[in-house]
Every structure is written in C-alpha cells, then in structure tokens.
C-alpha cells in the first residue's frame, strides 16, 4: 500500500548517520590529541590555499568573483529540487476515494448516467467506531490507500481494482493480539457487507512507548 521508497530512505539515513559520526569523531580527536589538531590545522591551511588558488584562476578578467560560485549556486538549487522531490514521494499511495462505480443510464431507464463514489472517510469512520471504547487498545488509526498490498520485505506485489485499508492499532500491554486481530477481521467483514465493497486490508498490531507505559488490563 505505502509506496514510500524505503531502500532510498535507509541508504540516506546510513550515509547521513555515517557523516555525522565521522564529524563527531573528528571533533573528539581535535579536543583529545594535540598532535592530531596540529596536523589538521596544517591540512586545513593547505586546502584553504588550494581553494583560493582555484578561485583566482577561474576569475574572469574584469570580474571580482569566480564563475565557480555560479556553478555552486546551480548545484545547490539542484539539491533543493531533489530534496523537494524526495519529500513529495514520501507516503505515496494515500487516496480519498474508497470505491467508485458507474451507473449506466440504460440500466435504469434514465436519461443521464451517473457515478457513485464512496469516500475514504466512510470505511475509516466505520472501523474507528467499531473499535472505539475497547479497553485492550491504546490507539486506533485507519487510513485508505491505493490498491497495492504488501509482500515480502514490505514490497508491493499485488494490484487490484478497489482501494485498501490499513488498520493500525496499539494493543494494551497484556492484551491478546490474536483475539484483537480476529475481532478486527470480523469488523471488516461486517463493514464490507454494509458498504457492498471489498478491498485488501492490512492489519498492523504496533507497539510503542504508549503500549509499554499504559496500564495492563485483562481482556474479557
């Protein structure tokens, strides 16, 4: 369902985490070892002089600054655009329509055909109402997604015609996950019968700080 590029996100996290780790280690070495700090100052001085030489060599006659600054500005703009595109692809797959069907005019002897749509809010509110008030659940979240289901390693492997639901709940500490999943599945079957529309459903039993800190209650 969720089409977020997980592989790209994990790669970026590893790269950024490695860079920050190296920067922190570099700072500790500068503070802890004077010999390392002296060597770093020499290297930094050499790099500064080399950069100044390159900037001077790339300055056009009659100009004060190097044309490399224009290239750097264009590269920064490209990076900003890539970051905007990366943000835009996060969480792709959400939809506001659960189901849509055509009503042909000739089938009902009317002059104008019509379209019947079921908003995503309908199944979401039905499921939230069905699970509201349960003492064995800390929180309930229901979202509607385009028809892409999960396969191995959370990779989308199936596409259908109807939208799908992701039902994410946090069971209370000590609650029985199997019974919760069975109750949710039964609520989904009743909802399908009421709406007359079926689609893939992902039931996600999550855990977190609220689950660990909430008071345990016996499920009856």
Task: Give 116-143 pLDDT, tens digit per residue.
Answer: 778 888 888 888 888 888 888 888 888 8
Each residue's pLDDT tens digit, 62-108: 788 888 989 999 999 999 999 888 887 776 677 778 877 766 555 55
By CB atoms closer than 10 A (0-12, 13-18, 19+), residue 139 is middle
Tokens of 13: 């996290």
Where are the domains positioned within the chain? 6-88, 97-213
Cβ-contact 120, 145 below 8 angstroms: no
Give the pTM. Answer: 0.51
Q: Is pLDDT of 189 > 60?
A: yes
Q: Show the CA angle centred on residue 167, arms to residues 162 and 168, nearest 5°.
A: 150
Mean pLDDT of the chain: 79
Alpha helices in the chain, H assignment, sequence order: 6-32, 34-57, 68-88, 121-131, 177-195, 209-213
Helix (H) or strand (E) holding 102: strand 97-103
DSSP 4: -
Question: What are the backbone dihedrals phi and psi of residue 196, each rounded to the nearest 5 degrees, phi first?
Answer: 70, 25
Range 71-76 contact pairs with CB under 8 angstroms and sequence separation of 24 or more: none
Instruction: Report the range of poorest mean pLDDT among 11-20, 45-54, 78-87, 162-171.
Output: 162-171
**Average pLDDT, integer, range 22-26:** 95
- Highest-pLDDT range among 90-104, 109-123, 155-169, 191-205: 191-205
Q: At the topology level of CATH, where does 97-213 sit?
A: GMP Synthetase; Chain A, domain 3 (3.30.300)
Q: Which two structure tokens, joined as six digits, stand for 126?
A: 């039905």
What is the predicted pLDDT for the residue at 48?
92
pLDDT of residue 174: 79
What integer is the mean pLDDT of 11-32?
A: 94
Closest CA to 203 of 136, 119, 127, 138: 127
Cα–Cα distance list, 142 to 16, 61, 123, 183, 197 (Å):
32, 64, 8, 15, 17
72, two tokens: 């750097």
Checking if the pLDDT of 28 tops 90, the result is: yes
Length reported for the chain? 220
Q: What are phi and psi of 5, to 5 degrees?
A: -70, 85
Lowest mean pLDDT among 91-105, 178-192, 205-219: 205-219
């Amino acid at each position: 369902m969720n089409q977020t590029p997980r592989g790209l996100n994990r790669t970026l996290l590893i790269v950024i985490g490695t860079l920050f780790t190296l920067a922190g280690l570099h700072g500790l070495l500068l503070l802890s070892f004077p010999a390392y700090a002296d060597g770093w100052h020499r290297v930094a001085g050499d790099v500064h002089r080399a950069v100044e030489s390159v900037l001077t060599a790339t300055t056009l006659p009659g100009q004060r600054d190097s044309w490399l600054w224009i290239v750097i500005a264009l590269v920064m703009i490209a990076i900003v655009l890539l970051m905007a595109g990366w943000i835009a692809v996060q969480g792709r797959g959400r939809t506001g329509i659960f189901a849509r069907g055509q009503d042909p005019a000739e089938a009902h002897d009317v002059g104008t055909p019509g379209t019947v749509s079921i908003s995503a809010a309908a199944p979401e509110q039905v499921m939230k109402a069905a699970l509201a008030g349960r003492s064995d659940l800390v929180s309930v979240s229901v979202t509607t997604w385009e028809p892409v289901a999960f396969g191995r390693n959370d990779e989308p492997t199936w596409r259908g015609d109807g939208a799908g639901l992701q039902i994410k709940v946090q069971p209370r500490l000590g609650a029985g996950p199997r019974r919760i999943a069975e109750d949710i599945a039964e609520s989904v079957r009743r909802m399908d019968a009421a709406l007359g529309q079926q689609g893939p459903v992902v039931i996600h039993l999550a855990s977190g700080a609220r689950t660990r800190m909430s008071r345990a209650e016996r499920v009856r």
